[in-house]
Structure 1
Amino acid sequence: MHKKTLGSSILSAIIYVIMILWALCVLYPLVWSVFGSLKDNQQFLLKMPWSLPEWPLLWENFANVWTNYNVGTYFMNSLIVTIVSTVLALLLSSTTAYVIARFRFKGSQALYNLYLASMMIPLILGLIPLFFLLTDLHLSNTLFGLILVYTAMNVSFGVFVLVGFFKTLPKELDESASIDGSSDYGVFFRIMLPLARPGLISVGIMNVLNIWNEYVMGTVLVNDPSKYTLPIGIAVMQAEMQYRTEWGPLFAGLLLSIIPVLVVYFIFQRQITSGMVAGAVK
């Protein structure tokens, strides 16, 4: 028994050491970016790139990149596209998942399988058709066209996750609400949707991460600089610097793109964990 306890303690210690090393590897680039955003080019070129920033700290790099490099415009575009696309994707995926899970009709399983199959198609294959489709609809180089594309991209995943939640909810809830005179819409929005909150939060966070960091679709479908999202804007900013890269503002722009994602994760980390675990069990 003593040997077994000693072996498990050693194994636990090894696992903790590995986890700590992994956490340091993940945090190091973030800390290095923070240090880099507070330096000027002279500190990067004349000293070690990973050295601590000198005093006074150059907080003006954030104001510089926000105004002079139009990061403020890119940030607002990303914010609008992410919020609207996430809300629309959640609305469409939740209603579709509810119908598939709670109503039996011919072709319901085939419809569900169709959504699952669409998740296996690489997004790169849809670039050219989407480009010509948005051009024909006069939606290219618009935030609205980008919102429609991002919404459609994330509906399938939401359906996949939320169908499991709705299937496990007791059918007596539907019947009791119907007897009380509630319509199908009332049952869904007043009873079923609040009960599926863990799944909605998990799906919503995944959608936010995917949309906020998306680069390829935005690059192809949007060519107007005033409509660029943050990932595209930072890449354009680096290209515009050409032969003299302003490392401080560049790292500041990167941090401005990371901070909203970190804030969302820290706020909803418990809901994300509980939602994913509940979805896995169900």
Structure 2
Amino acid sequence: MKRSVGQILGRTGIRIPLILWTIAVLYPIFWMFLGAFKSNAEIYRNPWGFPESFSWQNFIGAWNNYNIDTSVFNSLFVTVLGAVITLVLAIPTAYAIERLNFRGSRFLFTLYVSAMMIPMVLGWIPLFFLLMKLNLLDNIIGLSIVYAVSQLPFTIFVLTSFMSTIPKSLEESAAMDGLSPYGVLWKIITPLSMSGIITVTIMNAIQFWNEYFMALIFLQTQENYTLALAIDFISSEAQYTNAWGTLFASLVIAITPVIILYAIFQQRIAKGMTEGAIKG
């Protein structure tokens, strides 16, 4: 009986802080969703309550008056292109490091892992001038390339963990059947590493979609703004135009795809990261 009471108290002591932390995290998001359907008068009159009537006017205003549609397209473009470039560069590199025992392969892997420890902020100024030299400044393609390069070390680190446990006998059998090294990579290794590929792609996509600082530095015209920059612009405007409902609506537009994506792939992400940790 004493053990049961102790277990109950122990579990309660663990759960109460977790419940409080969950409320602290979820309530501002819930409040933001409510504010997106309120008029400005309702936000000032009853900021913490439910809207009197759910209206889509704030979403329409954000879409039409602040060009959120263009910013959504820009964010979607840099997210997809950045994720694709990252995979195109990371998969062959991870395979070469893990499977091709060339001189310096371990040093190269250590170099990539070490790059994960370097703050990206240290490269912003050189990248700014490099993009300017290449005529890629204020260009969403240039921003996509920067995003892809910034996530290469992490992606390579995860993919090498998955590739390390694929039996080499599969590659040897495929080579004996006449499959070229590129065929082995794309037809054998890549499908067997799909769990890790999906995991890093989702994590990279969420990172690219939410990224703000590099977009702020490398994008200059409003037509090229990503969603994070557009929301920042609306936030500064809201101080003078009282467009708080429009700001909340823009935040809902930005956060909804991330919530849906994570909700759909939550188990796959957790499974992929766990497998990568064990295999590494």
Same fold (TM over 0.5): yes
Name the % identity: 44
Equivalent residue, structure 2, for 1:60:
57
Flag structure 2 segments of 5+ consecutive residues without an equivalent: none
For the residue of structure 2 that corresponds to 1:168, the secondary structure is coil
- The Cα offsets for residues 62-118 of structure 1, whole Å up to 9 and x where unpaired, read as 111011111110000000100110111122112111110111010001111111111
2:97 alignment partner AA: I
Question: Which 10-residue stretch deviates more, 85-94 or 70-79?
Answer: 85-94
- Cα distance between partner residues in 1 of 2:193 and 2:257: 25
Give matches, 1:179-258, under 5 Å: 179-258=176-255
- Cα distance between partner residues in 2 of 1:281 and 1:16: 28
Question: Which 10-residue stretch deviates more, 198-207 or 132-141?
Answer: 198-207
Equivalent residue, structure 1, for 2:93:
96
- The Cα offsets for residues 113-172 of structure 1, whole Å up to 9 and x where unpaired, read as 111111111111111111111111111111111111001001110011111111111111
* C-alpha contact 1:238 1:245 (8 A) present in aligned 2: no
Which TM-score applies when normalising by structure 2? 0.96
Matched, 1:163 2:146: no
Give matches, 1:1-282, under 5 Å: 2-45=1-44, 47-55=45-53, 57-282=54-279
* C-alpha contact 1:38 1:59 (8 A) present in aligned 2: yes
- CA RMSD, aligned part only? 1.3
- Cα distance between partner residues in 2 of 1:4 and 1:95: 55
1:194 alignment partner AA: P
* C-alpha contact 2:238 2:247 (8 A) present in aligned 1: no
Superposed displacement of residue 239, structure 1: 2.0
Which TM-score applies when normalising by structure 1? 0.95
- Cα distance between partner residues in 2 of 1:92 and 1:245: 46
Superposed displacement of residue 15, structure 1: 2.3
Superposed displacement of residue 242, structure 1: 4.4
- Cα distance between partner residues in 2 of 1:233 and 1:29: 21
Count of residue pairs brought into register by the alignment: 279
* C-alpha contact 2:238 2:244 (8 A) present in aligned 1: no
- What stretches of structure 1 move > 4 A for 4+ residues in a row? none
* C-alpha contact 1:38 1:58 (8 A) present in aligned 2: yes
Question: Which 10-residue stretch deviates more, 31-40 or 182-191?
Answer: 182-191
* C-alpha contact 1:81 1:143 (8 A) present in aligned 2: yes
